[in-house]
Structures are given as C-alpha cells and as structure tokens.
Structure 1
Amino acid sequence: MTPPEPRERQLSADLFRVATGTSEPIYRQLIEQMRRLLAGGQIQPGDAMPSVREVATALGVNPMTVSKAYSMLEAEALLTRRRGLGMVVAAQASGSADVEARLELLRPGLERIATEASQLELEPKAVIALLTSILKGK
C-alpha cells in the first residue's frame, strides 16, 4: 500500500505575525513561527506557502526578509521549492505529537519573560495570571 499523496492547501499570509519592537530579527521570527506551526500541527506537509510578495505586503516588511526566512527553512528541509509554483511544506516535515518537544519551543520566550518579570520585580503568581488571561484571549 502506497502512502497517500500529501494534500495541498494554500496558506494565507496572515499565518505570520511580527513584533517590530524586539531585538529578534524579523526573518528569525518567521522561521520560529513556522517551526511552531508545524510542531503544533496547524500546517501540514504539502501545504502551499503564501508568496514572498504576499507575506512582505501583509507584514509591511522587505521582501528580501521573507525570502531569507524561506531560504533558511528550505535549507532545514522544512520547505521545498517547486519551480514556477512557489514553496510548499516539505513532505518529510511533520508535526510533533510530543508535548514536551512542543513546550521546549516555548522555552526561549518564557525565559525572556521570566527575566523581564524579575527585573520588574513582579510576583510569579501575577505573571502566571496574566499569561493565563492572554492564553484564554481575555
């Protein structure tokens, strides 16, 4: 029995969000978001990526920034280039059902938050309450 062909779904440029006020370069933000979306299962192998121009326009960034992120994701074998058709999520890229692996993707951001909370002399309970509120969308 042969495995089923990967489905192709056209992803939208609103898949990405960037924070311009941080020290993290925008291309790196895009790469990290792709890794998280893939690990979380929101994107799947075979999904067609939005064009560089679409993403750049939607985010208000230089197209070379998006192109750099896509090229680096291709080098990591997370994206595949289809000549004349654009980029797709690579067939060998797969999400992780392992909660621990997905939590590890959050660690760098949470460590930054912990440092900032400590510098602001905030109680852990207050920070956790704020995070809980944000996660619930309130």
Structure 2
Amino acid sequence: MARTQALMIQIATGDPRPISKQIVDAIRMKIATAELATGDQLPSVRGLAQQLTINPNTVAKAYAELTTEGWLESRQGLGLYVATPRQRLNDAERERRLDEAIGRFLNDVIALDYPPGEVQARLEAEFRALAPRKTA
C-alpha cells in the first residue's frame, strides 16, 4: 500500500521563478534524491495549496507539468503518485537542458570571482551530499 507523503517544501517569495516552477523543482529534487519513492502518494491539490497558503490552481499547474513529464502518475479516484522511473527525456533534450542549466549557473557564479577549482570542488561536494540519499 502506498503511503501518502507529506511534502515539506518551501516557497521563496524573493525567488524569480514562478511559484508553480518552485513546486515542480522541489518535487523533482525529492524524487531524484529518493526522498519521495516510487508509489508514494502526494497530497491533494487542495491539501498542498492549504499547506503552502497558495492558490490551488498553482498546485494543479505544477502537478500537471510533473504528470506530463512522467514524474507523477494519476490514479483515477485515488490521487497522484510518484511514477515508476523511466527515461523521461530523449538524449538531445537532456543535453539541451544540461547546457542551459550550466549556462545559467556560470552566469550566476562568474561574478562571484571564485577560482574554477574551488567552484568544481564545491559542486562535487554537493553531489556527494546528495548521493547517499539517492542510493539509500
């Protein structure tokens, strides 16, 4: 039996991303790091909207995007669940998104004037910190 998973996510009012994008990114990260497991049930649209004190349409938009991308699956009359992992994007789209993310990252970091080696070391440390959760 799937367990309903409380989503402990926070919305940052100063974040330039729309609230629905913040929700999408937070849920993707929880799934990618195995904090949310395959078959876990997510809160209802209304439940998460109340938790975050936002409009239910915003949550519905985020859930719809995650469902379309294959992160979540809808079970008629039962709710939304974390979908079985599969290749969600083709190789070309994965490459495009990686290039785009690296470009945004570099634009943000270059002005901080850190040596490249230090930036790489910090990135590696962050990946290592995520790895135990993913393999647990």
> TM-score category by the smaller chain?
0.5 to 0.7
AA aligned to 1:114 is: V
Q: TM-score, normalised by structure 2?
A: 0.65
Counterpart of 2:5?
11
Q: Which runs of 5+ in 1 are unaligned?
A: 1-6, 95-103
5+ long unaligned stretches in structure 2:
88-97, 127-136
Structure 1 residue 93: Cα displacement: 5.1
Equivalent in 114, 120, 132 of residue 124 of structure 1: 114
Identify if the C-alpha distance between structure 1 residues 109 and 60 changes in structure 2 by more than 3 Å, giving closer, same or farther.
farther
Length, aligned pairs only: 110
Q: 2: CA distance between counterparts of 1:26 and 1:110?
A: 20
1:84 and 1:108, CA in 2 relative to 1: closer, same or farther beyond 3 A?
Answer: farther
Q: Report the aligned-residue RMSD.
A: 3.0
Identity %: 32
Deviations 1:58-98 (A, max 9, x none): 1111100000000111101111111111100112359xxxx
Q: How far is the alpha carbon of 1:112 from its aligned partner?
A: 6.2
**Alignment match of 2:109 (pick from 91, 114, 131):** 114
Structure 2 Cα separation of the partners of residues 10 and 109 of structure 1: 35
Asked if 1:50 corresponds to 2:43, the answer is yes
The alpha carbon displacement at 1:113 in A equals 4.7
